[in-house]
A and B are shown apart, each in its own frame.
Chain A
Amino acid sequence: MTDVPVTTRKDWATDQEVRWCPGCGDYSILTAMQLLMPEMGVRREDTVFVSGIGCAARFPYYMNTYGLHAIHGRSPAVATGLAMARGDLHVWVVGGDGDMMSIGGNHLIHALRRNVNLNILLFNNQIYGLTKGQYSPTSERGKVTKSTPHGSVEQPFNAVSLALGAEASFVARTHDMDRGHMQEMFRRAHDHPGAAFVEVYQNCNVFNDGAFAAITKRDARDSMLIDLKHGEPVRFGADGELGVVIEDGRARVVAVAEVGVDALVVHDETDPDPSVAYSLSRLANTNDVPTPVGVFRAVDRSEYGSAVTSQIAASQAKAGPGDLHKLLHSRPTWQVA
């Protein structure tokens, strides 16, 4: 990586005017990314941001890399083709909860299942922003919006649970109030071979302001964010006084003093069985209870694009590179004189 030119944030920013609402959580995510990129040892031209439609999907316009702003929901599909064709690229997929979990839900789960080499960032603000405030597939029950004036009667998705259920090999969660944590998660996603899914809790200050405030504001974080660390007991609180145990396959928050440190679950992000990770993801289905953040799961699994490339190489080794003349004569032939 020594030959990668030294860059600064400025090199990774475009000259385009950023058009998110003032105060939008997307700004801090963009800043985190632009500041992180010079540290990643990658070239701008080898980096591609692919997006669908929505506020989050404008992200590529602000990164001085290659960028493809596609159509609603389809970014994981478009990025799958790109990543399959071009294993040399670093492909990021950016979208919101409506884009990736509603209209594009099918593509998201299949990109995760196939383990395509993509870094998928889900900016979850639990609302439709660009269409001005309808409930989303992650909005809580009872949510009153323009399209649910009597309150939503739908069960929301838990994005981390969904990703784990979709056989994702890397699943993480972070939030827009903590640049360092975001950068750590983005870096881990980048380093992971295969599909890496990162849910970013993101504040929409216009249509869903403060949705995550109870867990992400500075003075709440200690007691409300459970920072998952590989190989360490899962505990949180200002003095680590709270922890998580797994009982009968279910995760439960406990006082460490009552159960002892040894009773706490030791986080193993490499566990091939996603059950414990899933249990941890179920700790928080609303934004007012302690919520795990960090890497839930990071397992090694065959990456899709390279598996396809390996089959091509094996086929060429066996049959030789394609010979068109031979192909056209590969079925029974006869001569007419």
Chain B
Amino acid sequence: MTNIAQQAGEVRKADGIVLRFAGDSGDGMQLTGDRFTSASALFGNDLATLPEFPAEIRAPAGTLAGVSSFQVHISDHDITTPGDAPTVLVAMNPAALKSDLPLLQPGGTVIVNSDAFNERNLAKAGYESDPLTDGTLDGYTVVTAPMTDLTKRACQDLGVKPRDAERSKNFFALGLVSWLYSRPVEPTVDWIDGKFAGRDTVIAANKAAFAAGHAFGETAELGASRLMVAPAALDPGTYTNINGNTALSWGLIAASQLAGIPLFLGSYPITPASDILHELARHKNFGVRTLQAEDEIAAVGAALGAAYGGHIGVTTTSGPGMALKAETVGLAVSLELPLVVIDIQRGGPSTGLPTKTEAADLLMAMYGRHGEAPLPIVSAQSPSDCFFAAIEAVRIAVEHRTPVILLSDGYLANSSEPWRIPDVEQLGSISIEFASRPNHVDADGEAVFWPFRRDERLVRPWAIPGTPDLMHRIGGIEKEDGSGNISYEPDNHQAMVRLRAERIALIAHHIPPVEVIGDPDADVAVVGWGSTWGAITGARRRLEAAGHRLAHIHLRHLNPLPANLGELLASFERVVVPEMNMGQLCRMLRAEYLVDAKSVTKVSGQPFTAAELAEAFYREIETVGAAR
């Protein structure tokens, strides 16, 4: 294969490219994108990815509904989004071209598998004429390769059946783009060896297809289309490429290690949360117990039961599952037991858009229980940040004996980025204290245990079964403060409702104050939460590059809100709140602080692009400027 280092001199440099692989669900586009990403990560680029796939496992082949795409942004500098628009589109069939060409940047590069552009496939995609010849692609740089045929030919002497050989055509595409964009080949070759170990013909076919794609670039004289994206100057350290669900799983394991008590996950399979169950089920040597429960309710119930027994009880789900778990979360509020409920948000309501992202469960997390049932809410802002968000959720849950909802979303779950691996010694600690002795003296002078006797943070003791002398009964029925005995007394209930609210509000003193990113003296402050961090950051950098000032406040904690937030918001002329919902945080801020916050919303199943937000923020900056 070609030595990239030798050729690098001939290749034009780019500060970044946004590549989108699109094909049929069965074409292996997620895998192809993932391999390109891994090779780029090992090469040292900064990157961000956006996998997009249909909810159906195999929608009818060749149709628009069956198109599966993977977008990856590679860069020679620090980036935070998978890119506004692809600069390169790899289309494995007409449907992929039809579906994703509108996303491509004007003048971008289209790489197509010309073998797939037959009459039947064109018709399935709804093309009346061949877009490769009818002028559809005028203005784009077009690279056509008969990928299916060349793959079959590359495999013909390997004893691979032509039909099986055809399945390797995604490696041809990968080989071609690896050549075009000067990716190292070794990681992919090594990966093929490892992934298909024991299946020699598959290894041979995939390697042959990969090599053929690579060679095609050279022999077809595509040199003019070549681009080189240099490694990014990231902070020194050891990096790995990680997606949100993996980071979140590892964060839970880390939290269990920091706390020194075992992790218990109760979960029911649901997109896009299932990968957390899969990942945690692999790590039994950390003492992790996973239960694939009979339903969402059992999953959270078992997690609560494990928490009662002294484990870190966690349940993972997405929106529909959150609705089902609500009653048990209310029980956890009443029991004042630690529980971590993780919601990987997706488009709703109901089944909605299972594989697309949205962040519209904030108000459900805040208020989606009967009665006055406040609980802390934590959110993750980037794929790798899911690691730290998980630790924070566990910390609050166990230290404050409360259910905590952790909000991630479908975009963070599947998107990946390089992560500077933290030093495990620097992760801090989580303090666990199980009650061990009676904490009250009754009227007869006898030492007794009161399960609802609170400390100065209004936190009750965590007394786990097996502890002598602390036997007690707790339940969802209202309890007398202190003794924990059943109580229907009006004054007691009033007091308990207030105590439950107060103790959650007090957590604001145990979380860091929020900090302003960007210019704290700007007129306009953007308040974000969750995965919008990347697009907001991208937008802020563009505006700053154009000489504008913008403040960015990103909320890790959504309940209670940071103690300094109200004062901070009051110091800006204008507050803008971009959200992947219809304005839920915006309502909360307006209600909490009487601030005239403006909402910017998007609920298309797609994350914000930096370009969209830069434009929205610019309008606000202009409006404030004009009013002055």
Q: A residues bordering B, Cβ < 8 Å?
A: 14, 16, 43-48, 50-51, 60-61, 63-71, 74, 77-86, 88-89, 106-107, 110, 308, 311-312, 314-316, 318-322, 324-325, 327-329, 331-337
Contact = CB atoms under 8 A, between A and B. Distances in A.
A211 B291 CA distance: 39
B390 to A, nearest CB: 13
Contact of B298 (A50, A80, A335): A80
Nearest to A314: B284
Contact of B421 (A81, A83, A89, A333): A333
Nearest to B468: A45
B285 A322 contact: yes
Contact of B469 (A45, A46, A110, A334): A45
Closest 4 CB pairs between A and B?
Answer: A69-B475, A81-B305, A81-B302, A322-B286
Given A78-B304, A334-B41, A328 B291 contact: no
Contacts of A89: 309, 465-466
Given A44-B471, A45-B466, A332 B38 contact: yes
Interface of B: 38, 41-42, 44, 187, 231, 233-242, 250, 253-254, 257, 262, 264, 266, 283-289, 291, 293-295, 297-299, 301-311, 313, 327-328, 330-331, 335, 420-422, 424, 464-477, 485-486
Given A61-B473, A81-B264, A322-B253, 8 more contacts: A43-B468, A50-B305, A66-B472, A68-B308, A78-B301, A324-B253, A327-B283, A336-B420
B266 A328 contact: no
Contacts of B472: 66-67
Contacts of B288: 312
A333 B297 contact: no
A106 B295 CA distance: 8
Contacts of A327: 250, 253, 283, 286
Contacts of B310: 85-86
B330 to A, nearest CB: 8
Contacts of B305: 50, 68, 77-83, 85
22 contacts: A44-B471, A66-B465, A67-B473, A69-B473, A70-B331, A74-B297, A77-B294, A78-B302, A80-B302, A81-B291, A84-B302, A86-B464, A86-B466, A89-B466, A107-B298, A312-B287, A314-B284, A316-B285, A324-B424, A327-B253, A328-B421, A333-B238
Contacts of A308: 289
Nearest to B284: A315
Contact of B41 (A85, A88, A107, A332): A332
A74 B236 contact: no
A45 B471 contact: yes
Contacts of B285: 312, 315-316, 318-322
B308 A336 contact: no
Given A77-B301, A77-B305, A335-B238, A88 B466 contact: yes
A69 B476 contact: yes
B239 A80 contact: no
A110 B304 contact: no
A77 B262 CA distance: 19
Given A322-B283, A332-B38, A334-B239, A67 B474 contact: yes
A316 B547 CA distance: 57
- Secondary structure type dominating chain B contacts: mixed
B237 A336 contact: yes
Given A69-B476, A328-B421, A332-B38, A77 B331 contact: no
Given A69-B476, A74-B298, A86-B466, A332 B241 contact: yes
Contacts of B254: 324
Contacts of A314: 284
Contacts of B302: 77-78, 80-81, 84
Contacts of A80: 291, 293, 298, 301-302, 305
Contact of A84 (B235, B284, B289, B331): B289
Nearest to B473: A67
A331 B41 CA distance: 12
A329 B473 contact: no
Given A69-B474, A322-B253, A84 B306 contact: yes
A335 B44 CA distance: 8
Contacts of A319: 285
Contact of A45 (B187, B235, B242, B465): B465
Question: Quick one: which of A61, A77, A80, A318 has the most chain B CB within 10 A?
Answer: A77
B239 to A, nearest CB: 5
A77 B293 contact: yes
A46 B422 contact: no
A161 B619 CA distance: 69
Nearest to A113: B294
A69 B266 CA distance: 20
B369 to A, nearest CB: 12
A332 B465 contact: no
B341 to A, nearest CB: 14
B422 A328 contact: yes
Contact of A48 (B283, B291, B465): B465
Nearest to B187: A332
A62 to B, nearest CB: 9
B18 to A, nearest CB: 22
A71 B327 contact: yes
A333 B240 contact: yes
A78 B475 CA distance: 12
Contacts of B486: 16, 61
Given A85-B264, A328-B250, A110 B298 contact: yes
Contacts of A14: 473
Contacts of B266: 81
Contacts of A84: 264, 289, 291, 302, 306
Question: Quick one: which of B38, B240, B242 has the most chain A CB within 10 A?
Answer: B240
B236 A336 contact: yes
A223 B266 CA distance: 48
Contacts of A334: 41-42, 44, 238-240
A74 B297 CA distance: 8
B309 A332 contact: no
Question: Quick one: which of B38, B302, B420, B474 has the most chain A CB within 10 A?
Answer: B302
A240 B28 CA distance: 72
A153 B309 CA distance: 43
B298 A85 contact: no
Contacts of B289: 84-85, 308, 312
Contacts of A333: 238-240, 421
Nearest to A83: B305
A123 to B, nearest CB: 17
B568 to A, nearest CB: 34
A52 to B, nearest CB: 10
Contacts of A68: 305, 308, 335, 473-475
Contacts of B469: 45
Contact of A331 (B242, B299, B465, B474): B242
B41 A71 contact: no
Contact of B240 (A45, A71, A77, A329): A329
A69 to B, nearest CB: 3
B301 A74 contact: yes
A43 B309 CA distance: 16
A279 to B, nearest CB: 28
B306 A82 contact: yes
A35 B472 CA distance: 19
Contacts of A74: 297-298, 301, 328
Nearest to A328: B421
Contact of A71 (B234, B313, B331): B331
B295 A46 contact: no
A315 B44 CA distance: 34
A20 to B, nearest CB: 14
Question: Quick one: which of B44, B328, B466 has the most chain A CB within 10 A?
Answer: B466
A82 B308 contact: yes
B301 A16 contact: no
A331 to B, nearest CB: 5
B294 A106 contact: yes
B486 to A, nearest CB: 7
Given A70-B301, A85-B264, A110-B294, A311 B309 contact: no
